[in-house]
């Protein structure tokens, strides 16, 4: 796995973790953090579909 793929995977895992926590608490700062991570992920791979990771996690 390349360094870029590892970075993407770690960001994806962090996004899922933050989203899960946000679902429980609905804290604004978690929502902002989720959006920042989502922005970073979309900059790395704009055509990526998050459907499969979210289906797997939730």
Residues 5-58 pLDDT 10s: 899 999 999 999 999 999 999 999 999 999 999 999 999 999 988 888 888 888
Inter-residue contact 54 to 15 (CB < 8 Å): no
Measured CA to CA, the distance from residue 12 to residue 8 in angstroms comes to 6
pLDDT of residue 20: 95
pLDDT of residue 11: 93
Measured CA to CA, the distance from residue 56 to residue 30 in angstroms comes to 21
What separation, in Å, do the N-terminal and C-terminal C-alpha atoms of the chain show? 25
pLDDT of residue 50: 84
């Amino acid at each position: 796995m390349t360094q870029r793929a590892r970075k993407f995977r770690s960001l994806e895992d962090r996004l899922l973790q933050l989203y899960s926590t946000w679902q429980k608490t609905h804290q604004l700062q978690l929502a902002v953090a989720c959006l920042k991570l989502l922005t970073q992920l979309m900059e790395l791979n704009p055509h990526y579909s998050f459907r499969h990771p979210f289906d797997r996690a939730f």
